[in-house]
Amino acid sequence: MSKKNAVRHIEQPKFKTRAEQLHFQAALRGEIEEEQPQLNVRKFLIGALAIFVILGIALGFTCYQIDKIGRMNEQIEQGLIEGTVGDEISIYMAVRVGIIAVAVLFGLYVLIKLCKPKRRKPNRSFWGDLCIYLVMGVIAVAMVFPLVFSVASSLKPLDELFRFPPRVFPQHVTLDNYSDLIVVLGQSWVPFSRYLVNTVFITLIGTFGHVVIASMAAFVLAKYDFPGGRLFFNVVVTALMFSGYVTGIPNYVIMSKMKMIDTYWAVILPAFAAPIGLFLMKQFMEGLPDALIEAAQIDGASQGRIFWTIVMPNVKPAWLTIIIFSVQNLWNTNASTVIYSESKKTLVYALQQIQAGGIARTGMAAAVTVIVMLVPISIFILSQSQILETMASSGLKE
């Protein structure tokens, strides 16, 4: 028997269209999933809603029983009634935790069934998807919990702030903490708007200068070879290991020699030289094709035009990331070590003075925390896709 006759051929069915043939071949390669029966969304949602209602009723009953036992325990401690409270409250609390866990798992199940995540290859089962979403959900809850707790604390009255064990959400929502904060800031002999203008000025000028200087230096280091270039970049990488607390004394000495203490420039100039911006821009610019710059040079473009019209638009994710880091750093600085005049103080310094006011200002301190973190978080949410692109591309080279 010849080799040609020994080869076993797989007969393919006849196809009416080219699309059917491609679909069959893709199914043989395992690149598509087998068709699943269509989900009846209406019946599925009705059943899911019924289960959630049952879980909600059970959760409400357990919460009612826990509050009832708690009130009974308080009356026993005050001597109003006689009796003892056993381990019923522990049982009800365990049941409540179990109900919440079941509700979360069932909610993930409903979400996965409705979203129907598409996979190129059927290499993961539904339970694999469920485990991945569950882990991601736990991580997301752990990361968002401090933010939720801070916002909820700022809406609590003073008696709930000192309650133990503390509750995440307030029972009696109030905006008194924010109104009291406005009243206290209005009583200062330096207007609140002055602190705000100082912070905005320092943040805008420091961020703009940092982006421009870091981009120019990174362009030279990434696209031109010159003596000492590699050594200079190694110094920049080494500088990343030192925090602001370490460089605070050298910065103060340099600013003092330059007669810039008690001025805005004592905060702005050190921000220009932050190494993180130069590092990110240099790593990102190395991914730009050299042919793009060489073509512009052949067309007669100057170095400045190449930088502003070709390089900077192509590294937009990198300098947007630098803007976020710089704004976060400058917005949260109090500059109390280099600025002494009250009229030049920053907003964070004024808010920190309110936080140091003692127990009576605990509610205002919670409101201060929310206000301080509001701007950096808002900028991050608006530009998070650019940050992810920068971090994913900063280590890639052509």
Q: Is residue 82 part of a domain?
A: yes
Angle between helices 192-223 and 176-186 (to 10 degrees): 100
pLDDT score, position 9: 47
Give the residue from 91, 106, 123 where a domain finishes.
Answer: 123
* Final residue before a domain boundary, out of 96, 123, 150: 123
pLDDT at position 252 is 87
Confidence band, pLDDT 50/70/90 cuts, at residue 205: very high
* pLDDT tens readout for residues 146-184: 888 888 888 888 778 887 777 777 777 788 888 887 777
Whether residue 137 lies inside any domain: the answer is: no
Asked if 189 and 341 count as a contact pair (C-beta separation under 8 A), the reply is: no
pLDDT value at residue 178: 83
Residue 367's domain comprises 180-393
* Preceding omega of 289 cis (within 30 degrees of 0): no
How many Cα atoms sit within 13 Å of 16 on the Cβ side? 0
Count of residues for the chain?
398
Q: What's the total number of domains in the chain?
A: 2
**Which long-range CB contacts under 8 A does 293-298 form with residues at least 24 apart?**
293/223
Integer angstrom CA distances of residue 331 from 190, 248, 320, 343: 19, 17, 16, 17
Question: Residues 309-333: what's their mean pLDDT?
Answer: 84
Residues 260 and 334 occupy one common structural domain: yes
Residue 166 lies in a domain: no
Q: How many CB atoms lie within 10 A of CB 309?
A: 12
Quick one: pLDDT band at residue 295, thresholds 50, 70, 90? confident
Task: In whole angstroms, give the CA distance from residue 205 to residue 201.
Answer: 6
The verdict on 118 and 186 lying in the same domain is no
CA 380-385-386 angle, 5° bins: 85
Q: Residue 80's pLDDT is what?
A: 66
What is the tens place of the pLDDT at every residue in 43-54? 778 888 888 888
Q: Are residues 196 and 119 in the same domain?
A: no
pLDDT band at 318 (very low <50, low <70, confident <90, very high): confident
Question: What are the start-end ranges of the H helices in the chain?
Answer: 3-6, 18-29, 41-78, 88-115, 126-154, 158-161, 176-186, 192-223, 229-239, 244-257, 265-272, 275-285, 290-298, 303-305, 312-314, 316-331, 347-355, 362-382, 384-393
**Distance, C-alpha 259 to centroid of its chain:** 39
CB neighbour class for 321 (10 Å; exposed up to 12, middle 13-18, buried from 19):
buried
pLDDT at residue 208, rounded to an integer: 92
Quick one: pLDDT band at residue 185, thresholds 50, 70, 90? Answer: confident
What does the pLDDT average to over 243-247? 79
Taking residues 291-315, what's their average pLDDT?
A: 85
- Label residues 122-145 b or e (16+ Cβ within 10 Å = b): eeeeeeebeeebeeeeeeeeeeee
- Contact call for residues 285 and 222 (beta carbons, < 8 A): yes
Measured between alpha carbons, how far is 90 from 94 in angstroms, rounded to an integer?
Answer: 6
pLDDT bin (cut points 50, 70, 90) of residue 396 is very low
Q: What pLDDT score was predicted for residue 395?
A: 47
Residues 117 and 211 grouped into a single domain: no
Instruction: Answer yes or no: do 190 and 66 share one domain.
Output: no
Is residue 249 included in any domain, yes or no? Answer: yes
- Using one digit for the tens of pLDDT, what is the confidence trace for 337-391? 888 888 888 888 877 777 776 677 778 888 888 887 777 777 777 766 666 655 5
Poorest-pLDDT segment among 9-13, 47-51, 79-83, 199-203: 9-13
Radius of gyration from C-alpha coordinates of the chain: 31
Q: Do both 109 and 199 map to the same domain?
A: no
Residue 199 lies in a domain: yes
In a domain, 129, yes or no: no
Average pLDDT, stretch 251-255?
Answer: 88
Coil, helix or strand for 160? helix
Q: Which residue has the higher pLDDT, 318 or 360?
A: 318
Average pLDDT over the chain reads: 77
Report the C-alpha gap between 198 and 336 in whole angstroms: 13
- Residue after which a domain boundary falls, among 123, 140, 166: 123
Please give the average per-residue pLDDT across 103-122, as a whole number: 66
Q: Is 385 helix (H, G, I), strand (E, B) or coil?
A: helix
Residue 165 lies in a domain: no
Of residues 339 and 42, more confidently modeled? 339
Mean per-residue pLDDT for 332-338?
A: 82
Q: Is 76 exposed, middle or buried (0-12, 13-18, 19+ CB in 10 A)?
A: middle
The Cα–Cα gap between 368 and 363 comes to: 9
The CATH number of whichever domain residue 364 belongs to comes to 1.10.3720.10
- Does 228 map to a domain? yes
Structure tokens given for 152: 């909820």
pLDDT at 7: 43
pLDDT(25) > 70: no
